[in-house]
Amino acid sequence: MDPALDPALDPALDLLATGPLVVLTGAGLSTDSGIPDYRGPGRPPRTPMLYGEFVSGPAARQRYWARSHLGWGRMRHAEPNPGHRALVALDPELLITQNVDGLHERAGQRAVVALHGRIAEVVCLECRAVSDRAALHERMTEANPGFTERHAAVAVNPDGDVELDDPAVLADFVVPDCEACGGVLKPHVVFFGENVPPDRVERCYAAVDALAATGGTLLVAGSSLTVMSGLRFVRRAARNGTPVVIVNRGATRGDDLATYTLDVGCSELLSALVERRGAALPGARPPG
């Protein structure tokens, strides 16, 4: 069904079609790119590795990096989908994303705050040097010959992790150290147990606050708002009297604060909104 033809969506589309937008996106936006979401209908519960566990010792890091090596090897080939391209056409005042896949940037989004960082970067916990994940991926592949081929069938999670828990397999995985100082390497993303950098949060709050003065709307696309890192912006908008529209498959923690909740696909709704606002869909940039 085309959301543009569904009369029940007209009030929300009419609201979103006028005035400035700030958009908050979650994993549900990337499902059409082949990346599964965290908490969509039918998804089993899972507990990502906490930061404290990651820094607790080599065994935890072997478990993390073995799984992440497999997941990112597939995730890096994902392409922006029609939802990403629609958001480029809509050109919101700010796009706040909880995703670490980098697909908004790949699509050509103008103003993006990646709340949780980007999985395509790696940071050393000792010297704080930031490096390219692709280079580390090649080092891991060389240090663990045949590992990817032996585990080609494992299921991928939305943060680049996979379902692999065999202790014997994980214990044999070789994790390279920082080439600059020999320190511990970590994806340059915010783990559970870490805080989002304050400057990112303040930039997002400022954009949400500006909506109250300009008659704008906060649009949430593909997030269950389960974690506070995203929910706080919905609460801020509601407290300011700013309309909130939530587009998500299934219920969210912010539903009681929303002006409209739309249980439809992100790509379909956003593409319909582009048509309603009279914008043109751009093409995605080639992979960088």
pLDDT-based confidence at residue 171 (cuts at 50, 70, 90): confident
Contact 106, 80 (CB under 8 A): yes
216-260 per-position pLDDT tens digit: 999 999 999 999 999 999 999 999 999 999 999 999 999 999 999
Phi, psi of 18, deg, nearest 5: -125, 145
The three-state secondary structure class of 31 is helix
pLDDT at 2 over 60: no
The class level of CATH for 1-35+81-116+196-288 reads alpha beta
Helix/strand/coil percentages in the chain, nearest 5: 40, 15, 40
pLDDT at 37 over 80: no
Of residues 215 and 170, more confidence is placed in: 215
pLDDT-based confidence at residue 166 (cuts at 50, 70, 90): confident
Least confident window among 6-15, 16-25, 78-87: 6-15
pLDDT at 287 over 50: no
Annotated binding site: 124, 127, 178, 181
Q: Which residues are catalytic?
A: 116
Q: Find the mean pLDDT for residues 73-88.
A: 92
CATH code for residues 44-77+120-189: 3.30.1600
Torsion of CA 208, 211, 212, 216, to 10 degrees: -140
Q: What are the extents of the domains in the chain?
A: 1-35+81-116+196-288, 44-77+120-189
pLDDT at 143 over 90: yes
Predicted pLDDT at 136: 96
Contact 104, 90 (CB under 8 A): no
Predicted pLDDT at 231: 97
Contact 79, 284 (CB under 8 A): yes
Rounded (10°) angle between helices 228-240 and 198-214 = 30
Side chain identity, residue 156: V
Q: Find the mean pLDDT for residues 260-281.
A: 89
pLDDT-based confidence at residue 75 (cuts at 50, 70, 90): confident
Of 218, 222, 197, 15, which is closest to residue 113 (Cα–Cα)? 197
Of residues 49 and 121, more confidence is placed in: 121
- Side-chain-facing half-sphere of 274: CA atoms under 13 Å: 19
Of 250, 271, 272, which is closest to residue 261 (Cα–Cα)? 250
Q: pTM of this prediction? A: 0.89
Predicted pLDDT at 282: 64
Residues paired with residue 25 on neighbouring β-strands, in sequence order: 97, 221
Q: What is the CA radius of gyration of the chain?
A: 20
How much is the mean pLDDT over the chain? Answer: 89
Of 199, 249, 239, 202, which is closest to residue 218 (Cα–Cα)? 239
CA distances from 81 to 58, 268, 276, 283 (A): 37, 11, 19, 10
Least confident window among 29-43, 142-156, 177-191: 29-43
151-163 per-position pLDDT tens digit: 877 766 656 677 7
Q: Cα(251)–Cα(76) distance, rounded to whole angstroms? A: 29
* Interacting residues of 203 by C-beta distance below 8 A, sequence separation 6+: 94, 113
Q: Extract the runs of DSSP E, i.e. beta strands, from 190-232.
A: 217-221
Annotated binding site for Zn(2+): 124, 127, 178, 181
